[in-house]
Amino acid sequence: MSLQYKNLDAQTRPHMLSEMNADQAAGLLYISPRLNENGTNGWFKLLSEAIAAHDDGWLATEIRNQGFLKSHEERRKPKGGTTLAQVPVIAHETLAEGEFNRFYVRGLCLRAIQDNIARVIAYRARHSEQPRPESEAIVGRAFSPAALLNDLRSARGVEPALGVPPGPNSGLSVRLP
């Protein structure tokens, strides 16, 4: 289920593409270890297409339909060593939502900076029957676009320090005031 991006429009998308292209040029584009060889090779093009004209739901469908994910992954065992485990059935959705939303937030922050908007606001972009308390604590908070942008630029593939978005499947994003 796609997030509901309040400011995903013709003004925000070019900023998203700019951020993604900058990551690609610098060799910093996040490549999930769950992507297989075809997925690794096709990720940039697919993500570019999603950012230019679609959303995370479309991206998730294409990841699945194009067979971009491994079927199994190595996981650490609690007492040491590793085991081979099946990749979660929602891995395509988690990857698509997480990376699309990350570039959406970065693009929106660039837009806010360009338009001299002092704050962006965290909101619930997907309904949750049982929202995490740490996510609920973020909803409604205002963030400096420059600080949030810098945080997300430096936190690839991990949870950013400011907590937006607050980890996989949080359902949170940001919007203009």
* Spatial distance between the Cα atoms of 85 and 77, rounded to a whole number of angstroms: 11
- Residue 100: the pLDDT is 96
Kindly tell me the burial class for residue 142, based on how many C-beta atoms sit within 10 Å of its own C-beta (0-12, 13-18, 19 or more).
Answer: exposed
- Residue 28: the pLDDT is 94
* Spatial distance between the Cα atoms of 14 and 176, rounded to a whole number of angstroms: 16
Please give the average pLDDT of every successive group of 10 residues along the chain, which has 177 residues: 94 98 96 97 98 98 98 90 93 94 97 98 90 87 96 75 68 95
CB of 124 closer than 8 Å to CB of 174: no
Kindly report the number of other CB atoms within 10 A of residue 129's CB atom: 4
Q: In this structure, what token pair is assigned to residue 146?
A: 């420059």
* Spatial distance between the Cα atoms of 18 and 21, rounded to a whole number of angstroms: 5
CB of 160 closer than 8 Å to CB of 101: no
- Residue 169: the pLDDT is 76
* Spatial distance between the Cα atoms of 31 and 28, rounded to a whole number of angstroms: 9
Closest by alpha carbon to 98, among 127, 130, 59? 59
- Residue 157: the pLDDT is 59
pTM of the model: 0.92
